[in-house]
Amino acid sequence: MERGPSSARVIPLAANETPAASRAALLGDLSDDELMQLSAADVNDAFATLLLRHERRVRNYCATWCGSVALSDEIAQEVFVDLWRHRHEYQSAGRFEAYLFTFVRNRCCSSHRKANVEKKLESYTPAPRDANQLQQLLESERSQRVNEAISRLRPKLREALLMRYGAELDYHEIGRIIGIPESTVRSRVFLAICELKEWAKEMGL
Amino acid sequence: MTCPFELDVVRWVTGDTRVNELARVEGHISECASCRAKAESLRRMLSRLGEPPAEVGVKQSAPKVFVARVMETIEREARLPPKARLHPGFLVAAGFVLALGGAVGWTAHRMSEAGRARQSIGLVRPGPERSPSAVLMLARDGQVERAGARPIRASDTLVLRYSNPAAEPRYFLAFVLDAVGNVTWARTAVEGSHDQAVPAPAVVGAQSDGEVKEAVAALGGANGPRRVVAVIADRPLDPVDVRQRLQGYGAARAVRELFKDAFVAEWVLWPEEPLDRQDGK
């Protein structure tokens, strides 16, 4: 079997002479497992690629969990720093999402505990000035009501619901993350939706 | 009055309706306007769960800004001396271990292991006096340089150079793990007491002798990074044993477990493009 003239190359781990654009494209083609392997070898831009790939889902999950966009960025940042600290412990098995969301879950749970002892600061809401702002405010209110309904769910139900519909993880993965059988995840999600439905009715959503 | 199909509608929206009930539930939903509206409303609500809550005057930072902030935190933390990065809980645990006595030896052992681990990542730094070392070199156009400084070509040759300044003999083994942790190449060498060059596993060249066949096998695994590992130990190292014990996912991590008493150096190599394309398919 003949091989082409240029079939392999080294991605330098320390010295970086690969052009940034081609390096980014190369890293973008790698799987999560491969990027984690590289991150474990302290290749920081591999970790940045991984981060860029998953930040939206993690931040949105944290935002819905804690009900605050501002706070969610802080939690999500802690999640990714946790991931980086534990990058050597990751075992490549195509289970990256479960690994990542284990950190997400831990951070969200601890922020939940903190919120129970600390008084939540009231957020400042500016008065609307024009139609656009009014529309924004209405949308915000609707969103806040949905969030309020979600926040009224028991944490176990909320967690299962958000992992399923916020993070779009399958039941099996959620079961692995939380450490419960898949059937329990299913019933938690089902109960969460039933409760949410009732509150949505009450709130006129 | 609530519709008797109310819970069935929830199951239908979440995709949990049993196959034998699907026709009955769908039949009802198509006829009942109230249930259809409920299903639609539920769907809308669930689809909102993936979005951040809308807050007036507050927006999520742009992805690149967020990533830059996290990377800055990480890089700042990486610059701290290892001691400053230790978790307080770890310090308590370490104190407890020290109090038990005999921990000085343990700590020294861990420190030397940490030193080895750092050395094994990417570029091999000069080790302490009398400890073995390994360097992956790249030979191109008659010039030899340290691999990792620039992309290699198919015509390049990688040479693994190792040394054992200690008086006692040591054994050498080099192997390659592919992206999914399969050992695609393994080679032992005679024990070395001085610098020795060994043809490295990731050699890709135009030659057609046995060396190249092995090298082709080294690149023939799953696409993605290749990990070249060099082990220098006090005991003979068996490549068959390595192949059997390091197959599959988690092999890269298992390397350190398997050779925890040995000197281990690792390099990560990348194929320029998927291997099937390299084969001209």
Whole-number pLDDT of residue A132: 62
Q: Which fold does the domain A18-99 belong to in CATH?
A: Rna Polymerase Sigma Factor; Chain: A (1.10.1740)
Q: Where are the domains of chain A?
A: 18-99, 136-205
Best-predicted range by mean pLDDT (A106-120, B219-233, B258-272): B258-272
The CA radius of gyration of chain B, in Å to the nearest whole number, is 29
The CA radius of gyration of chain A, in Å to the nearest whole number, is 21
B203's tokens = 């050699």
pLDDT-derived band of residue B4, with 50, 70 and 90 as boundaries?
confident
Best-predicted range by mean pLDDT (A155-159, B89-93, B188-192, B264-268): A155-159
What are the residues whose beta carbons fall under 8 Å from the beta carbon of A49, sequence distance 6 or more?
A24, A27, A28, A30, A35
CA nearest B200: which of B174, B234, B169, B235? Answer: B174
pTM of structure? 0.51
pLDDT-derived band of residue B55, with 50, 70 and 90 as boundaries?
low
Whole-number pLDDT of residue B10: 85
* B271 vs A8, A84, A144: nearest CB: A8
* A205 vs B190, higher pLDDT: A205
Weakest mean pLDDT among B2-6, B48-52, B110-114, B212-216: B212-216
Residue B224 near chain A (CB below 8 Å): yes
Residues of A in contact with B49 (CB under 8 A): 64, 150, 161-162, 165-166
Nearest CA-CA distance, residue B40 and chain A, Å: 12
Distances from the Cα of B157 to the Cα of B5, B124, B175, B205, angstroms: 70, 19, 16, 7
CA distance A18 to A24: 10
Q: Is A29 in a helix, a strand, or coil?
A: coil
Q: Which fold does the domain A136-205 belong to in CATH?
A: Arc Repressor Mutant, subunit A (1.10.10)
List per-residue pLDDT tens for chain A, 205 residues long.
333 333 333 444 433 445 566 667 777 778 888 888 888 877 788 899 999 999 988 998 888 888 777 788 888 999 999 999 888 888 767 678 888 998 998 888 777 655 554 444 344 344 444 556 556 666 666 666 777 788 888 889 988 998 988 888 888 889 988 889 999 999 999 999 888 887 776 665 5
B61's tokens = 């930072």
ipTM of the complex: 0.73
* B49 vs A140, A165, A197: nearest CB: A165
CA nearest B9: which of B33, B36, B31? Answer: B36
Whole-number pLDDT of residue A184: 93
Provide the percentage of residues in chain B whose pLDDT is more than 70.
Answer: 40
Q: Report all structural domains of chain B as residue ranges with CATH numbers, in order of start.
A: 6-48 (no CATH), 121-278 (2.60.40)
